[in-house]
A and B are shown apart, each in its own frame.
Chain A
Amino acid sequence: MKVVPSRLSEWVRPVTLQQPACAIIEIERVSQVFQTSARKDHLALSDISLTIDEGAFVSILGPSGCGKSTLLYIVGGFVNPSSGAAKMKGQAITGPGPDRGPVFQEFALFPWKTVLGNVMYGPRQQGVRTNEAEAQSRALIEMVGLKGYENFYPKELSGGMKQRVALARTLAYHPEVLLMDEPFGALDAHTRTRLQNDLLNIWERDRKTVLFVTHSVDEAVFLSDKVVMMSKSPGRIRQVIDIDLPRPRRRNELLLDPRYQKYVVDIERMFDESDEAGSPS
C-alpha cells in the first residue's frame, strides 16, 4: 500500500536556499534628492539597484558629484534615501550599526585618543573586556604596520598612518561589511600604492565584503572583483563590470598583465564617451 501524502506541504520539504554567492547587501530602487540653496531639488541618485555578494570586493567608480559617496552613506545608514531601500542580509537598513564599518577619506579618528585608544574604542563599546580588547587591538595595530606607535596621538601621525589606524579601528569591531569612502583619496601617490597593497593583503586573509568608493580607475580595477560604474547628474549606474583577474594580486605582475590594462583602458574609454555625450557645452 502506497502512502500518499495528503497535503502538498508534506511533499515539498522546506529547503534552505544555499546559493554559492549569497547576497549580503541589496540596494533596491534607491533615489536621493537634495535640496540646494535655491530651493531647487537636485537628484543625486536616480533609481539605483545593486546587489553585493558576501565576500566580494566591489568598487563604486565615478566622477566627483555622481553620488557614489551618498550611496555608501545610505548603506551605512548615515543617510536615509528619499525613496527605495537598502537591505543588509534581508533586513532594511534604518541606521548605522557595527555590522557595517566605515572608513572615511577624512580618517575621522578621535584626536583625544591614542592609536591604541582609537582601535580599542569599538571593542570596548561592544562590551569586550579591556584586557581582551587591548590584546586584539595591539595585534591589529601590528597587522596594519604600526607596531611601536600605540601611544601616539593622531596629530603626531602622517596621513597614511592615520588611515592605517582608521582601518584598524574599524576592523577591531568585526564588521561584516567594510564601507570605504575614497579612503586613499587624500594621500600622495606613493602612500596610496602602499596602502592599496596592504589593504589587499589584509583583505585576502579573511575576505570581508568591501564596498569601496573611488574615482581612480586603476585603483578600482586593481582591488575589485566587480566595478560599478556610475555617471553623474543624475547619479545612475552605467555598467557593472566583473574584473576577472587572478588572486592574490601582486601589483608588479598585474601592471604588466594585458587583461588588467584592457580593463583600465576600456573603463576609461567608456567614461570619456559618456563625457562627450553627456556634456552639452
Chain B
Amino acid sequence: MISSTTMAKRAAPALACIGLLAVWQVASLVLKSDSFPTAIEAIRAIPDILGDRESLINILASLRRMAIGFSIAVLVSMPLGLLMGRSRAVAAFFNPLLMVIYPVPKAALMPIIMLWLGVGDITKTLVIFLGVSLPVIYHSFEGAKAVEEKMLWSGAAMGLSPLQRLVRIVLPAALPEILTGCRTGLVLALITMITSEMIARQSGAGNILFNALDMGQYDTVYAMIIIVGAMGICLDAVFERVRARLVRWSEPQFDLPLSFS
C-alpha cells in the first residue's frame, strides 16, 4: 500500500541519476572528444575495475584508511569538543589552535607530513584524521555548549559526578549536533582520502584514477569517478540511517505534542 506521492519520492533520486547520465551521454555524443567518454562507456568500464583483483585491493585499502582515519578522528574529536563546550579553560586553550588549522586545506599539509612520515598509510590516514577532526570538534563543541544548565543540575541532584554528567547527559544531549558533524566529517574523509592518494601516489582508489588519467584511459577515469561518487552516496545513506535511529527522540516528526495538561 504505497501512495503515488511516496512512490514519486522514492523514485526521485533514481530519476535524477538517470537524468544526469542521459545529459552526459548526449553531451559526450555531441562533443565527440576522446577525453570525454560517453556515460555508457564509463559504466561499462566499472565491472572491469571491480573485477580486477589489484584494483579491488586498492579500493579496499582506501576504504580501510578512511575508516581508521574517520574512527580515530571521531574518538579524539568528540570528547575534546564536548570538554571545550563545558569548560571555558579548555575552550580558551584549544580555540586559537583550531582557528589556525581550520582554514588550511588539509591536503596542503601533506607535503610536510610526507617529509616526516613518508608516503605510506600513516601519512594518508593522518590527513584523513585532520580533515574529519575539525567539523566533529566544532559540532561537538556547539552541541555541548547548548546543553541546558538545568538538565545538568537535575543530574547533579541525582548524584551524578562531573564526569558522569559529561558522558551521560552532555554526550546524549549533544548527540544530534555531534552526528551532524560526523556526517560532514564522513564526506570530508572521502574527499581527503582521494586527495591524499592523488598527492602520495602509491596505492588506493585515487591512484587508480590518476594513473588512468596519465595513461589516457578516460573511460576508467570516469568509471572511477562514478565509483567514488557511489561510495559517497552509500556511506552517507548508511550513516543517515544510523543517525536517524540514534536520535529518533529529537526528530521533528515527534514535534506535535499531545494536547492534554
Contacts and interface: CB of A to CB of B under 8 A. Distances in A.
B150 A97 contact: no
Interface string B143-182: 0000010110110111110000000010011010000000
A76 B173 contact: no
B161 to A, nearest CB: 10
B4 interface: no
Interface in B51-78: none
Nearest to A152: B258
Contacts, number: 93
Contact of B261 (A77, A78, A102, A158): A158
B94 interface: no
Interface stretch (A107-115, A217-225, A247-255): A107-115
B158 A155 contact: no
A62 interface: no
B169 to A, nearest CB: 7
Interface stretch (B124-132, B199-207, B248-256): B248-256
A235 interface: no
Contacts of A78: 153, 156
Contact of A160 (B158, B159, B260): B260
Interface stretch (A40-48, A190-198, A199-207): A190-198
Contacts of B256: 156
Contacts of B250: 111-112, 155
B258 to A, nearest CB: 6
Contact of B257 (A95, A122, A158): A158
Contacts of B175: 112
A96 to B, nearest CB: 4
B33 interface: no
B6 interface: no
A194 B157 CA distance: 27
Nearest to B172: A112
Contacts of B150: 102, 104, 106, 108
B157 A100 contact: yes
B259 interface: yes
Contacts of B148: 106, 108
B128 to A, nearest CB: 30
Interface in A80-102: 95-98, 100-102
Contacts of A77: 156
A157 B258 CA distance: 5
Contacts of A155: 249-250, 254-255, 257
Interface in A117-175: 121-122, 125-126, 152-161, 169-170, 173, 175
A194 B159 CA distance: 31
A112 B77 CA distance: 22
Interface residues of B, number: 26
A256 B138 CA distance: 59
Contacts of A170: 154, 157
Nearest to A188: B261
A113 B154 CA distance: 14
B168 to A, nearest CB: 9
Contacts of A160: 260-261
A123 to B, nearest CB: 9
Nearest to B255: A155
A33 interface: no
Contacts of B173: 110-112
B261 A194 contact: yes
A191 B261 contact: yes
A108 B154 contact: yes
A169 B148 CA distance: 17
A194 B260 CA distance: 11
B169 A110 contact: yes
A264 interface: no
A187 interface: yes
A24 B247 CA distance: 42
Contacts of A126: 158-159
23 contacts: A76-B157, A78-B153, A96-B156, A98-B157, A98-B158, A106-B150, A110-B151, A110-B169, A110-B172, A112-B175, A121-B158, A153-B249, A153-B254, A155-B254, A155-B255, A156-B257, A158-B257, A158-B259, A170-B154, A170-B157, A173-B158, A175-B157, A190-B261
The 5 closest A-B pairs by CB, nearest first: A160-B261, A191-B261, A108-B150, A96-B156, A155-B254
